[in-house]
Amino acid sequence: MNQQEDKKRKAELQEKYKQKEKPTGVYQVRNNVNGKVLIGSCVDINSMFNRLKFELNTGLQRIPGLLRDWKQYGEDSFSFETLEELKIKKGEFQDVKHELQKLEEKWLERIQPYDEKGYNRRPNVAV
């Protein structure tokens, strides 16, 4: 394969990757030792899992309790799973950000991953 064919092949693979459907929805990171969970949502759950693992392995995590447990128990003590995927409607307008927020709120209410049960911060409650 010559250099031009190689460049063309790389461009085709990049375009194919961009068009690939990505799982969008709510995810959970579970500490299988103490049962604590982190709930979140993202338009590309697989990329988020990779990002979280990278941050945790390099100590860059923004969630101190999760990082502390990651260091204490190790990567093998955690599982990453999709709780619910958002169905993307092709060809029509969809406020994905808003729908993801509502879906995440539903799961946060259901699981209550706060304090001793999880790594999420409690939402600010207006008085």
Q: Is residue 89 a contact partner of residue 30, using CB atoms and an 8 Å limit?
A: no
- Predicted structure pTM score: 0.79
Number of domains in the chain: 1
pLDDT in tens, 78-114: 999 999 999 887 777 778 899 999 999 999 999 999 9
Residue 127 lies in a domain: no
**Cα 22 from Cα 18, distance rounded (Å):** 9
pLDDT value for 76: 97
Domain that includes residue 33, residue range:
22-117
- What's the residue count for the chain? 127
pLDDT in tens, the chain (127 residues): 688 887 887 777 666 655 667 899 999 999 999 999 999 999 999 999 999 999 999 998 789 999 999 999 999 999 999 999 998 877 777 788 999 999 999 999 999 999 999 999 998 766 5
Tell me whether residue 92 is in a domain.
yes
CATH of the domain at 76: 3.40.1440.10
